[in-house]
Amino acid sequence: MVLKRLFVLGLTLALAASCSSDDNDPVDPVATCTDGEMNGDEEGVDCGGTACQPCEASIDNPATYVFQRNGESSVSFTGQTTRILMAEEIIDTLKAENTLATVMNAMFAHEEGNNDFFNAELNASDKSVRSKTAASFDFFSNNATDQALIRADFEGWIQTQVDEVYPNWNTAAAAGTAGQLADGSSTRYVTGKGLEMNQLFNKSLIGALMVDQILNNYTSSNVLDAFADANDAETLVDGKNYTDMEHDWDEAYGYAFGTAADLTDPRPTIGDDDSFLNKYIGRVEGDDDFAGITDDIFQALKLGRAAIVAKDYDVRNEQADVLRELISQVIGVRAVYYLQQGKNALDQMDPDYGGGFHDLSEGYGFIYSLQFTRKPGSTDPYFTKTEVDAFLADLMDDGANGLWDVEPATLDAISESIAERFSFTVEQAGS
């Protein structure tokens, strides 16, 4: 499996300096020295057949995401769960005919106490989706221009649904005409250019909220190291049972797994817990070419949190790089998958426009999300905003009517460009 090999290789290189052994076997990323073992930088160290770290940096890595202090949990990511649930209601509302744009924009930019949601607990919350969209420290603290453009995109997609799609809700869609299309037992509602706005909004938000916050904010050393002294001293946040650094890492975990049936071990229900990053980690897991990615992501989040407790910030940073690689590849894989599925639906004697436009609208959102990915060991995304905007323009400009006119060669070219920058092929991702 491609991702698994890269994951192990990265950890092997990262931990090689900790051991003087000449053993070239794959490294166990969670192995630590036991009492009585020599430090990994001492000649003749015996690691017992596994990778070792210096004894003074021993990490207690639990089997599940359970961390306690004084017999009580020190884990909290309620804000992330809240925003995921808010986003779910926004997506559902986009699919409800004749909802006002002002209503959906109020949901997106929720203010505490406003009755924007069906869930009263969400109404009482001081959280909002908009405030954390394109809001990471590393990518947007000094980039207000792109942040404003990205947030305006989401608001614009809401307006397009209201202005173009709702008025033609009961009209048969055609090239240049918004309306509905059959997709098996489902009905898709698209713009005159074939875009299904609720899908585009949904998949773009995975990048702009979940991926951006995990990779470029809560696991960023620029954010976490500001709390190093307090974490070393085990200074707790006022009234809480966690340090600031512990809490930030937990918030990253929450954006991936904060709606899981079992919050301490999301693996058994991965893909079934929400409509965002969790769902598509699960979809990639279901492809034999990438099987094991769920556990790899879970283990990196868990070991990174354990390393914070152990005050081992080198291991924490190694796990942040693992997350950057794997979560970014989830976005890349699904972008290629939907482009290829859309091509297959349209490139036939009797094109399946409903299914094809549904897939390509999801692909549009995953392409949009590529600008929030991040290369390991780097401050750069796998694709810049400029590159992403160019892909999206290519997707829509084969003719005046957007997806109605898109050519198979265009979908293949974009797919190849994405796959080449990752470690998978179009064939692996597209099946």
pLDDT tens profile 180-195: 999 999 999 999 999 9
Amino acid in position 137:
F
Q: Which residues of 333-350 are buried (b: 16+ CB within 10 A; e: fewer)?
A: bbbbbbbbbbbbbbeeee
Q: Are strands 68-69 and 186-190 parallel, antiparallel or unpaired?
A: unpaired
pLDDT tens-digit profile of 4-31? 434 433 443 333 333 333 333 333 444 4
pLDDT tens-digit profile of 73-98? 999 999 999 999 999 999 999 999 99
In Å, how far are 60, 88, 208 from 33, measured between CA atoms? 10, 44, 40
Angstrom distance (rounded) from CA 144 to CA 262: 37
Q: Which of 426, 301, 309 is nearest to 363 (CA)?
A: 426
Angstrom distance (rounded) from CA 15 to CA 11: 6
Angstrom distance (rounded) from CA 313 to CA 33: 17
Amino acid in position 364:
Y
Residues 6+ apart with CB under 8 A from 420: none
Q: Which residues of 397-427 are buried (b: 16+ CB within 10 A; e: fewer)?
A: ebeebbbbebeeebbeebbebbbeebebbbe
Q: What is the DSSP letter of 165?
A: I
Please, is 62 exposed, middle or buried when counting C-beta atoms within 10 Å of its C-beta (0-12, 13-18, 19+)?
A: middle
Q: Which residue has the higher pLDDT, 67 or 23?
A: 67
pLDDT tens-digit profile of 117-168? 999 999 999 999 999 999 999 999 999 999 999 999 999 999 999 999 999 9
Angstrom distance (rounded) from CA 370 to CA 45: 43
* pLDDT score recorded for residue 58: 86
Average pLDDT over residues 224-240: 98
